[in-house]
Amino acid sequence: MKKATVVGAGLVGSLWSVYLAKRGYNVDIFEARPDMRDASLSAGRSINLALSDRGWKALEKVGLGDQIREVAIPMYRRVMHAMDGSLTYQPYGKENQAIWSVSRGGLNRVLMDLAEREGNVKINFEHKCKSVDLEKGSATFTNRNTGEQVVSDNGLLFGTDGAFSAVRKAMQRTDRFNYEQEYIEHGYKELSIHPNEDGTHKLEKNALHIWPRGEFMLIALPNMDGSFTCTLFHPYGGEQGFDALDNDEKVRNFFKSTFPDAYELMPNLMEDWHENPTSSLVIIRCFPWSKNGKVALLGDASHAIVPFYGQGMNAGFEDCTIFEKFLAETNEDWDKAMKLYEEERKPNGDAIADLAMQNFVEMRDLTGDPKFLLRKKIEGKFSTLHPEKWLPLYSMVTFSHIPYAEANAEGKRQAAIMEQVMAMPNIEEKWDSNEVMELMNKLS
Ligand code: FAD
């Protein structure tokens, strides 16, 4: 009988278990937290995520596309909110291209349901991984209620237990394992904008809203119930950093003066502020991602990145797609498939980690800059005229399956070209002229 153990029933672990089950494996999942589908547990705050093409592809493969689309909201453009309340718009891609706002909890529940429906997957909740045997591909878990120790000895073990993975921790103690962890200056806090009384959204529904403010930003993604989940990405230190915002008056004044239009829509600001934690953001890189052809890492356990490209989960889902491809190609030779998987994915994990930091600067600072918006318009026009020559970086990352590392390299080449184009005299007036398009054609 084919058997596997999966540590962590988060987004990636649940999906990967479905893939394994479809290959005929009996899968034992161990998840530290209680079952989030248990109605007696509080529903908690709604937190959403942006799902894009790489994520969709992995979901379509297990037949989930339509079901998720029904509870997802397409966001066709960014709406930037200036200090004076004026709005500017930037489409994400071509007409009808969108990133999709989905409930993190909702998606995780559907994936767990699907895994269990396969018939050969069992999720053991409230079982925390305590130790791992990398030679055997087994792990020991503690039942959080009874303290009982359970050993899962299936000979194949997958660490999908997130950024602070216990499976990875065991690998970290082995020779020649590289590991790097970096907390960025910024943390985040989730806030909300409640729906209108009739259940409609208080801001444009089919958009991702950004209040770019240089060193920091507020963003808002729509939920199905008419609310928005807002996230303040903000430095801990500095005169107005999280640490300095240490009483209600300071928080209110900060919002009133920095995000006046959002503040008007957030009568519940202080309640959210106190209820929701301030959380840190970490980047984790490591290698290898597998051991002995028996243990492998997927998702945040192997590549935790900052959330500014909306790609963490998408990249984790793409891990499943790629791993599955190599399993098929090697006829399920796990040793070979694990090596091929980590060799292909590692440079791409590194690339999306870099791109995500780069996009933070773009979102918090550049989206408020007219020159940047003009550059995007020029690229957009050229790309429409010559799609074979130019796919904007954002589209390569979000609306394609081009490996992240290739997208990153192509993005650098494009940036160098755009520097020359933006240096043309009077570019503001003639941005869509033949002269500009011809120069782009020549350079690209
Ligand atoms: P996780 O979601 O962390 O799941 C790990 C699971 O393992 C959890 O259920 C945990 O309880 C369990 N676990 C942990 N340790 C143990 C243990 N010792 N034993 C047993 N179980 C254990 N990504 C996007 O694609 N789009 C976005 O818009 C986006 N927005 C984000 C916004 C924010 C603020 C943040 C912080 C992240 C965002 N991400 C986004 C990234 C995304 O959340 C992660 O990439 C994704 O959740 C990774 O999934 P995972 O299954 O690998 O890990």
Return mean pLDDT, the chain.
Answer: 96
Say if strands 138-143 and 127-133 run parallel, antiparallel, or are unpaired.
Answer: antiparallel
Amino acid letter for position 141: F
Identify the residue whose C-alpha is closest to ligand 1 atom 32: 307
pLDDT band at 441 (very low <50, low <70, confident <90, very high): very high
Please give the distance, rounded to the nearest whole angstrom, from the Cα atom of residue 159 to the centre of ligand 1: 12
Compute the average pLDDT of residues 237-257: 97
**Which residue from 33, 47, 161 has its CB within 8 A of the most atoms of ligand 1, so it is best to mutate?**
161
Residue 381's closest CA among 77, 98, 91? 91
pLDDT band at 364 (very low <50, low <70, confident <90, very high): confident
Residue 19's closest CA among 66, 72, 57? 57
Indicate whether residue 160 lines ligand 1 (CB < 6 A): yes
Compute the average pLDDT of residues 267-274: 97
Q: Is residue 361's pLDDT more than 90? A: no
Quick one: 45 exposed, middle or buried, by C-beta within 10 A (0-12, 13-18, 19+)? middle
Indicate whether residue 349 lines ligand 1 (CB < 6 A): no
pLDDT band at 41 (very low <50, low <70, confident <90, very high): low
pLDDT digits (tens, 9 = 90+) for 96-138: 999 999 999 999 999 999 999 999 999 999 999 999 999 999 9
Indicate whether residue 313 lines ligand 1 (CB < 6 A): yes
Please give the distance, rounded to the nearest whole angstrom, from the Cα atom of residue 11 to the centre of ligand 1: 7
Please give the distance, rounded to the nearest whole angstrom, from the Cα atom of residue 300 to the centre of ligand 1: 6
Amino acid letter for position 11: L
Amino acid letter for position 309: Y
Quick one: 247 exposed, middle or buried, by C-beta within 10 A (0-12, 13-18, 19+)? exposed
pLDDT digits (tens, 9 = 90+) for 123-132: 999 999 999 9
Instruction: Say what the pLDDT of residue 42 is.
Output: 56
What proportion of the chain, given as a percentage, has pLDDT over 90?
Answer: 93
Indicate whether residue 139 lines ligand 1 (CB < 6 A): no
Q: Is residue 428's pLDDT more than 80? A: yes
Q: Is residue 365's pLDDT more than 90? A: no
Identify the residue whose C-alpha is closest to ligand 1 atom 41: 312
| ipTM here | 0.99
With contact defined as beta carbons under 8 Å apart, do 140 and 130 qualify?
A: yes
Residue 355's closest CA among 321, 301, 396, 383? 396
Q: Is residue 432's pLDDT more than 60? A: yes
Instruction: Say what the pLDDT of residue 363 is.
Output: 83
Instruction: Say what the pLDDT of residue 43 is.
Output: 57
Indicate whether residue 33 lines ligand 1 (CB < 6 A): yes
pLDDT digits (tens, 9 = 90+) for 193-233: 999 999 999 999 999 999 999 999 999 999 999 999 999 99
**Which residue from 14, 30, 128, 300 has its CB within 8 A of the most atoms of ligand 1, so it is best to mutate?**
300
Task: Map residue 386 onto helix, strand or coil.
Answer: coil
Indicate whether residue 7 lines ligand 1 (CB < 6 A): yes
Indicate whether residue 49 lines ligand 1 (CB < 6 A): yes
168 contacts: CB under 8 Å, gap ≥ 6 = 159, 161, 179, 286, 297, 301, 302
With contact defined as beta carbons under 8 Å apart, do 272 and 190 qualify?
A: yes
Max alpha carbon distance in the chain (Å)? Answer: 74
pLDDT digits (tens, 9 = 90+) for 42-51: 556 679 999 9
How long is the chain? 444
Please give the distance, rounded to the nearest whole angstrom, from the Cα atom of residue 323 to the centre of ligand 1: 19
What proportion of the chain, given as a percentage, has pLDDT over 70?
Answer: 99
Q: Is residue 28's pLDDT more than 70? A: yes
Ligand 1 atom at shortest distance from the alpha carbon of 161 = 7
Compute the average pLDDT of residues 401-406: 98
pLDDT digits (tens, 9 = 90+) for 66-86: 999 999 999 999 999 999 999
pLDDT digits (tens, 9 = 90+) for 308-343: 999 999 999 999 999 999 999 999 999 999 999 999
